[in-house]
A = this chain, B = another copy of it.
Amino acid sequence: MTSNPYSAHARHYVSVDCVIFSYENDELKVLLYPRSFEPYVGKWSLLGGFVENDETLGDAARRVLFNTTGLRNIYQEQVHAFSDINRDPAGRVISVAYYALIRISQQDNVLVKEHGACWWPISELPELVFDHAKMVERSLLRLQKKAGSELIGKELLGDTFTITNLKKLYEAIFQHDIDAGNFRKKILSLAVLHNTGIKDKSESKKGAFLYRYTNHLEDQMSLSPIVK
């Protein structure tokens, strides 16, 4: 350890903090928990953990995700590394933010409750510890960029969904209304969804067709934006 060529340099605690998004009741939500240890016991925090010697940043984020939701193979993306010297008053910690997309119905409720974690609507977040508010803000921007340039939905909705479900998800992500007719045409023109022929009558009397992703084409990028 001390004989390695880099030993003259400082070493740092490195952590990951996960902005875990889900979608419920027409709202985009973020998983938060009341911090159980000093500093800031009781204040709301993202779910995070330290990076150990045998894992990458991505591994650590997956571990945090598994420990708190019971889920594996979750879509996640690195957002940004935060390194202000006093971002954590208890010690110098460099933290890398990740965002993840999960279906709220798939989580392990017991585990989530064990941590005292709660889902907060993105538009009504409480005050967060450290720089976690910045992490959420950047993550939302990244999610918007992603959703604007390719069709997302698989991760946050079920396997099948109506165009209206998808429209409401996009409205929740972009926090503004979208024209229903234009959205429908745009989405279908991408030719990545396939009509199952099954009608979902849970949201309207007429019923709306359920669609499913055609997986034979890998997620197709749309050159022109889906939503601005």
Contacts and interface: CB of A to CB of B under 8 A. Distances in A.
Interface of A: 4-6, 9-14, 37-38, 50-58, 78, 80-81, 83-85, 90-94, 96, 223, 228
Given A12-B14, A84-B56, A51 B5 contact: no
Nearest to A87: B56
Given A5-B90, A78-B80, A51 B13 contact: no
Given A5-B37, A5-B90, A81-B81, 17 more contacts: A5-B38, A5-B91, A6-B13, A6-B93, A9-B50, A10-B13, A10-B51, A10-B53, A11-B12, A11-B13, A11-B14, A12-B14, A14-B94, A51-B83, A56-B83, A56-B85, A57-B94
Given A12-B11, A51-B10, A52-B10, A4 B85 contact: no
A58 B91 CA distance: 19
Contact of A13 (B9, B37, B78, B81): B9
Stoichiometry, copies per complex: 2
A4 B91 contact: yes
A223 to B, nearest CB: 6
B50 A6 contact: yes
Identify whether the interface residues of A are mostly helix, strand, loop, or mixed.
loop
Contacts of A58: 83
A174 to B, nearest CB: 14
Contacts of A85: 54-56
Contacts of A5: 37-38, 90-91
B37 A91 contact: no
Given A80-B78, A85-B56, A50 B90 contact: no
Q: Which of A9, A50, A51, A53 has the most CB of B within 10 A?
A: A9
21 contacts: A4-B90, A4-B91, A5-B37, A6-B13, A6-B50, A6-B91, A9-B13, A10-B50, A11-B11, A11-B13, A11-B14, A12-B13, A12-B14, A14-B14, A56-B83, A56-B84, A56-B85, A58-B83, A78-B80, A78-B81, A81-B96
